Structure 1
Amino acid sequence: MTSVPPAAAEKHRLPPLLNIIALATFAASLSTRAMDPVLPHVADDLSVTVATAAGLSAVTAFSFAVVQPLIGAAADIFGKGRLMLMCLVLLGISNVVGALCSSYSALFATRVFAGIASGGVFPVALGMASDLVPVPQRQVAIGRTIAGTMGGNLLGASFSGVIGDLVGWRGVLVVLGALVFAASIAVGFGFHRGDAIATSRRMKFADLRQGYRQIFSNSNAKVCYSAVFIEGCCVLGLFPYVAAFLFELGETRLSIAGIVIAGFAVGGLFYTMTISQFLSLLGVRGLMISGAMMVAVQLVAVAFGPDWHIQMLSFILMGWGFYMLHGCLQVFASELSEQARATALSLHSFFFYMGQTAGPIVYGVSLSWAGKFPTLAANAVVIAILGLACAGLLTGRAASRAR
């Protein structure tokens, strides 16, 4: 029997620090979809419409997005680890304060800060993960980071529905705040032991302009950033309306809405567990096309308004396909600039969350004007075309692995 040389084994072993980075993304992602299942109750309690309550999801995404250019630059200049810890603490505070709000405007303000805090974690975590591994291992490393995000989304969405049924939406925010505080303590100890704060690569402020120039001189930048905007709008823009769609079918339990939405995160976890195999089988271009087609089919399936069990299965497959496409785009974004990688990935998140900001608004207008089926079918067509376009237009080292 032949053995793997120690040098080769070390080469293919992912750094243990990735587990701490994944924990940070897990903590930050708990709040991302947690409000969606309880929006009908928020609307009733604060005397607003469901469409108005959906603005809480939109403003979280918007504040996440607008802070990205600043967050990326700050992370590259001052260090990624410190920034992530500060943002986790701010996120915990925002959740707890939100539970005490008695008006929609006050709750709206806390979601702004929650979005800003979340914005300081995930893209910076991607930058740290990309710094730790070379390009051949990067998609798997980013997949590990996404696993933390999907775990947070899964628990946040599913348990918020259950907690919402038991103690209301305010209890959801209190529990989320406590969990984020606990996770921030664990992440702080992990970063300290791994010396992540000290070793996180920094750039000089004088290099910032050159970093932006390098990013946007890359022909892949326009494709990556446009694609993630469309993804966020067409796919994630649907989520604030899932509970309302289920209400129309007679299913008024918030826990069920949470389970359906959590299916998307389950699909994301399947992606993280299978990315190595599917990357070898399909290549990068095959992943993008297959993922986009899978999402398109499931959007049409949801448009028919099936039983919630079927919708949960559709969301699982939708999440799997979404991250097949989105994960490839993240790798391309990580290659836009090695010097200003956190900035490049933060801009990637900026456009993605701007899409999530526009998505609920666009869905709301389209649902009122055209109805449910035409709206979801049109988005399905857009996503299918997007996958084909990305596979044909993106070039570079990641694309060279396509079959």
Structure 2
Amino acid sequence: MHEPLARPPTDQKFPPAINIIALASFSAALSTRALDPVLPHVAEEFSISITTAASIAAGYALIYALIQPIVGAAADLFGKARLMTLCLALLGAACILGALSTTFSGLFASRMLAGIASGGVFPVALGLTADLVAPAKRQVAIGRTLAGSMTGNLLGATASGIIGDLVGWRGVLVIIGALGLIAAVAVAAGFRGAALTARPKSDLRTLRQGYRTILANPNARYCYSAVFVEGCCVFGLFPFIAALLFDLGETSLSIAGIVIAGFAVGGLFYTFTVSRFLPRLGVKGMMIAGGSLVALQLAALALGPGWKVQFAIMLLMGWGFYMIHGCLQVFASELSVEARATAMSLHSFFFFMGQTVGPLAYGFGLAHAGKAPTLAASAVLMVLLGLACAALLRPRAPSDARA
């Protein structure tokens, strides 16, 4: 039987291009959570509520999600590396435009453009990783790509809080924009040659067949539903972390950035340990343990501990989240071979749709039910999610896989 999640060898070597892919993921991830720690200052400058300021995160996630079907098809048609390079350049320009905004609507529009650009980097990076690495080694290779993304999230959240305290939120966007433009040049140089100029491997007819292959696989409905719930329960909380810390009397943006960065530290811990825990726990165990660990941390946050404890909580939450999310990414990479970028982009579509709904749901829950009931509800959902994924997801070969 086809087994995409086989036990990984202990001494794995990957193509050098994996490091370039990790660099691209790092550059795009810098922008994703960069404004979360500084949202209180954005709200103050434009005289808006923190809930309105948090709509930037929801809008970014929404446009990121909506662009995914187009991005996946374009990557399969015209080349993944070429599209990734173009999107990194667009991301850098969008961040610089956001720094120059004089109105909240202008800032919001620039973040939507950044969401479009970022949407063409990470899911395509996962597709490239899956193209380069065999299924038996893929979960660890994807962990390497995730390490780049997690490092970007870590620095993006931490540095933005520090930079925000020093030079304001505009300085955050200028620096991240400049790094995005530099990364575009670096990635283009790294994939110079066949990787950027090869003829497309797919046509429109093949793409249509790819969608049929993806959606006919029973794992598709489970993978895509699961990542929607993940995005809602976990990432929907992030725009409110700084505000919750403010309620506890901790008004430093640097502290908010450090707490949010704890999640990325946990993600990095996952990438360093997945090759050891996967053989011991198995895929089902990873998903159950991951969902349960996230749930425990959500419940702990409801108690309102100090920021140092919250950092530790976020670290454990990040570790648990990627235990389950990493498994879902591998299942998604095996939904189709010929339209793998499309499958991974659909995966990101549902994930970021969850991140769109999440801030709205948390905002409503915090306003009407309070912190403890809202976080408890999310905790219950994450436990049920881990159990459901373990019960429903099965290794299945895509119908377009070669014998």
After superposition, what is the alpha-carbon deviation per residue over 1:96-135, rounded to whole angstroms, capped at 9, x for unaligned? 0000101110100000000000000000000000000110
Q: Structure 1 residues 163 and 12 mapped into 2: Cα distance closer, same or farther (>3 Å)?
A: closer
Q: Is 1:110 the equivalent of 2:110? A: yes
Identity of aligned residues (%): 64
What is the CA deviation profile of residues 180-220 of structure 1, one whole-angstrom value per residue up to 9, with x for unaligned ones? 11222211111116x42245973112111111111000000
Residue matched to 2:4: none
1:320 aligns with 2:290: no
Q: Write out the 4+ residue segments of structure 1 that deviate beyond 6 Å after TM superposition.
A: none
Could you tell me which residue of structure 2 aligns to residue 147 of structure 1?
147
Q: Where does residue 190 of structure 1 map in the other structure?
A: 190
1:208-357 mapped onto 2 (5 Å cutoff): 208-357=207-356
Cross-structure match for 2:158: 158
* Aligned pairs for 1:34-49 within 5 A: 34-49=34-49
* Conserved 8 A contact 1:295-1:380: yes
* Alignment correspondent of 1:87: 87
What letter is aligned with 2:225?
S
8 Å Cα contact 1:128-1:200 kept in structure 2: no
Aligned partner of residue 31 in structure 2, secondary structure? coil
Corresponding residue for residue 401 of structure 2: none
- Structure 2 Cα separation of the partners of residues 12 and 176 of structure 1: 33
Do residues 54 (structure 1) and 54 (structure 2) align? yes
Q: Are the aligned partners of 2:78 and 2:200 in contact in 1 as well (CA < 8 Å)? A: no
- 2: CA distance, partners of 1:24 / 1:224: 25
Q: How many residues align?
A: 388
SS of structure 1 residue aligned to 2:62: helix
- Letter paired with 2:332: A
Residues 150 and 268, structure 1, Cα contact 8 Å, conserved in 2: yes
- The code of the aligned residue for 1:394 comes to L
Question: In structure 2, how many angstroms separate the alpha carbons of the residues matched to 1:175 and 1:347?
Answer: 30
Q: Using the TM superposition, give the Cα deviation of residue 171 of structure 1 relative to its aligned residue in structure 2, in angstroms.
A: 0.6
Relative to the length of structure 2, the TM-score reads 0.95
Aligned residue in 2 for 1:5: none
1:361 aligns with 2:360: yes
Q: Which amino acid aligns with 1:172?
A: V
Per the alignment, in what secondary structure is the counterpart of residue 192 of structure 2?
Answer: helix
Gaps (5+ residues) in structure 1? 1-8, 399-403
- Is the CA contact (8 Å cut-off) linking 1:224 and 1:333 kept in structure 2? yes
* Alpha-carbon separation, structure 2, partners of 1:320 and 1:191: 31
Alpha-carbon distance between aligned partners in 2 of 1:199 and 1:389, rounded to the nearest angstrom: 41
CA contact (8 A) 2:154 2:261 kept: yes
Matched residue of 2:161: which SS? helix
Letter paired with 1:121? V
- How far apart are the structure 2 equivalents of 1:191 and 1:59? 32
State the alpha-carbon separation in 1 of the partners of residues 162 and 286 from structure 2: 34
Give a deviation string over 1:225-257, Cα, whole Å, max 9, x none.
Answer: 000000000000000000000000100000000
The 8 Å contact of residues 75 and 202 in structure 1, kept in 2 or not, is answered as no
Return the alpha-carbon distance in structure 2 between the equivalents of residues 386 and 207 of structure 1. 33
TM-score by length of 1: 0.95
Code of the aligned partner of 1:130: A
Partner of 2:63: 63
CA distance in 2, matches of 1:381, 1:392: 17
Moved more, 289-298 or 182-191: 182-191
**Contact 2:231 / 2:355 at 8 angstroms: preserved in 1?**
yes
| Cα distance in 1 for residues equivalent to 2:199 and 2:163 | 38
Answer yes or no: is 1:31 the counterpart of 2:31.
Answer: yes
Per-residue CA shift, 1:26-80, capped at 9, x if unaligned? Answer: 0000000000000000000011110000011111111100000000000001100
